[in-house]
A and B are shown apart, each in its own frame.
Chain A
Amino acid sequence: MKVTYPHVGDLTLALRSMFGNLGIDVVPPPPPGMKVLKTGAIHSPETACLPYKHVLGELILGLEAGADTLMLLGGRGPCRFGFYDVMQNEALKALGYSFNLVSTDNPDTLRNLVREFAAVSPRNSLRGIAWEVYLFFRRVEAMDMVHRTYDRIVPRNLESAGRIMAAEKERIAATTTLRGLIAARKTAKDVIESIAPASAGRPLRVGIVGEFYTVLDPDTNFHVERAVKSFGASVERGVWLSTWLNDRLGFMPFTRSDRKRCKRIARPYLGFSPGGECVVSIAKVIEYAREGIDGVIHLLPFTCMPELVAATILGRVRKDFDIPMLELTIDEHTDGTAVRTRLEAFMDTLAWRRRRRLDAPKEAFPKT
């Protein structure tokens, strides 16, 4: 039996090490790129959202490479993500593949996840499997921490800094014990923090919010984080894999749900959650504006329902809080040059605004 799974940012790395430790044979997802997307897009409805096409492409290529079991993260949100597993099951059957589909949907609990791993793992101790699943989460969390630390610096040499971060993530993925993981996490933080910064000044800060997949996957979003950094700004990302996993599956019962917090912040604008990262996008922009972040980039796949709702509401948020925003809609037809042109103009705008704020006459003793 061979398992394949979709690629989502660092999830691939974390899953690879967990499957390895569980003794599960895997066909790793193909390297992301146009081949995957085109394969998925051919067999998808044209207006299906981008992640659907991507995941379908990966599953097809995985099955072609010899996988017979598909593992999917299901949703149960009101958006189309909740139907990915159902739709993809049908689409792949119609293409004539035979496979076994395991989805963590319905109900979305950790117990369910552990049982499903037990079903595909040659190891039979439920406790052992549960521990591995827990370690998996801690690894994702550590990788997110590394990435967050990296996001906040503006390295002098982007390419080498990117390689250093990737190597640290690999080191975290290679750990097998909790103690080793905690040690690796600490070293990684020190290593990233010692990367030489581009300049001593206070860099511009740019928030990135939007749909889960488009924010997490650099190959999909035209490496927007790297591009922002190349303009000398630091990044504050609103969507994290560990937060998402914890909110849905409850790995850490005593950690407050970030989603609930976001709902509360977004309430003046939206009283319910239309699914996806809609409330998260709205809440993070409000938070960023209060924190004094210079500008926000909103990423959404073409036809993504929850983010379209968010985009409309964010039009009002940006006015209320006077925070510049750049909306980037992405699908398989999006042109990289168009993205870069807007990004460059946006970064110019942020630099100008910052300069204006610094040049503004300071009234230490305001006259009434």
Chain B
Amino acid sequence: MGFYLGIDVGSISTCSALLDGCGKLAFASWERSRGRPIDSVKSALKQIREYFDGAPDIAATGTTGSGRELAAALIGADVVKNEITAHALAAIDYMPDVRTVLEIGGQDSKIIIIRDGVVVDFAMNTICAAGTGSFLDHQAHRLNVPIEEFGSHALRADMPLNITGRCTVFAESDLIHKQQLGHSKENLIAGLCRALVENYLGGVGKDKDIKPPIIFQGGVAANVGIVKAFRDLLGQEIIIPPRFECMGAVGAALLAAEAGPSAGGESAFRGFTVSEESIGLRSFNCGCCTNNCEITEVVSGKQVLGRWGGRCPRWTGRPEAAEAVRPC
């Protein structure tokens, strides 16, 4: 029985999850992408090999996250799915009667409403990144608090401040203003957590029927200050799954397990040797119409693994097919 591999390439972090044949989580990894998603995917594969002391047998693979196309081209994926579906599946798998999923990641936040194990509604932040992981990261750095301790600082607050959370730019200037008035770090951080949760509930959570049980996942669930703010504002218990930061990857692995190998019983997985390959990126402008789309291609040696970036289907699909339509 092979394993099912899921990889979630987000803007800030890359996670991987490995489910065994029975669907049990056998391994999960999390690391920052540091702006180099290719290297982080390679490193995830390396970690799996080190953990199992050799390459485990892979039955099917799935990728998700904003870098899912890249990851799919890189490792050879059987399923490529959006992160909303992946997160929902992982949450339902963890708790079959879940009715609300709050997810805050590095650059985006979403809310998923589930009834009877089925997604009935969702929302994802569109323009504003207020309240996402990278903003908290930035503020933690500015206040000189390690991000891991950011939440516990908030719990020690005696008088959380009112911070405007409408927009990160305003939040930051308000934060600086309050800081210069001499307020304690604890109160500043607690105020910020509350403001961001208010922003989340008034933004993506607007018009959503938030009912318990509520699961909170994504990297920001590590922040106990944010968790407390959710608990206070919603007046509900907030459940945090054990591997909350890898739920996207777990969802991708579940999707792979459900769909199975893509091509006639064979997984599209290119093998763990991918981590040793030298992978290059090329991009060029199509120039066939005035959109002049920027097409990106991933190459390993001479082989084109995948192409994307076009508004029309000219460059998408199988690389061989794309080659055939090159002259326009």
Contact = CB atoms under 8 A, between A and B. Distances in A.
Interface string A349-360: 100110110000
A342 interface: yes
In the A-B complex, list the 6 residue pairs whose CB atoms are closest, starting with the nearest. A33-B290, A345-B84, A35-B290, A315-B207, A33-B291, A356-B118
A336 B295 CA distance: 13
B126 A338 contact: yes
A324 B120 contact: yes
A345 B121 contact: no
B311 A336 contact: yes
Contacts of A35: 290-292
Given A337-B66, A341-B124, 9 more contacts: A33-B289, A33-B292, A223-B311, A223-B312, A324-B121, A329-B127, A338-B126, A342-B82, A345-B85
B120 A319 contact: no
A30 interface: yes
22 contacts: A31-B289, A33-B289, A33-B291, A33-B292, A34-B290, A34-B292, A159-B313, A318-B207, A319-B209, A341-B83, A342-B82, A344-B85, A345-B85, A345-B122, A345-B124, A348-B82, A348-B85, A349-B119, A349-B120, A349-B121, A352-B120, A353-B120
A315 B202 CA distance: 13
A36 interface: yes
A19 interface: no
Given A338-B126, A353-B118, A353-B120, A30 B82 contact: no
A251 interface: no
Interface of B: 66, 81-85, 115-116, 118-122, 124, 126-127, 206-207, 209, 289-292, 311-313
B8 to A, nearest CB: 13
A222 interface: yes
Interface residues of A, number: 29
A315 B121 CA distance: 12
Nearest to B84: A345
A36 B84 contact: no
B291 A34 contact: yes
Contacts of A329: 126-127
A319 B207 contact: yes
B120 A31 contact: no
Nearest to A356: B118
Among A222, A344, A355, residue most surrounded by chain B Cβ atoms (within 10 Å): A344
A31 B66 contact: no
Contacts of A31: 289-290
Nearest to B86: A345
B181 to A, nearest CB: 34
Interface in A302-352: 315, 318-319, 324, 329, 336-338, 341-342, 344-346, 348-349, 352
B313 A352 contact: no
Given A329-B126, A353-B118, A344 B207 contact: no
A329 B127 CA distance: 10
Nearest to A341: B82
B38 to A, nearest CB: 18
Nearest to B110: A345
Contacts of B82: 341-342, 344-345, 348
Contacts of A341: 66, 82-84, 124
Contacts of A318: 207
Contacts of B126: 329, 338
Contacts of B290: 30-31, 33-36
Contacts of B85: 344-345, 348
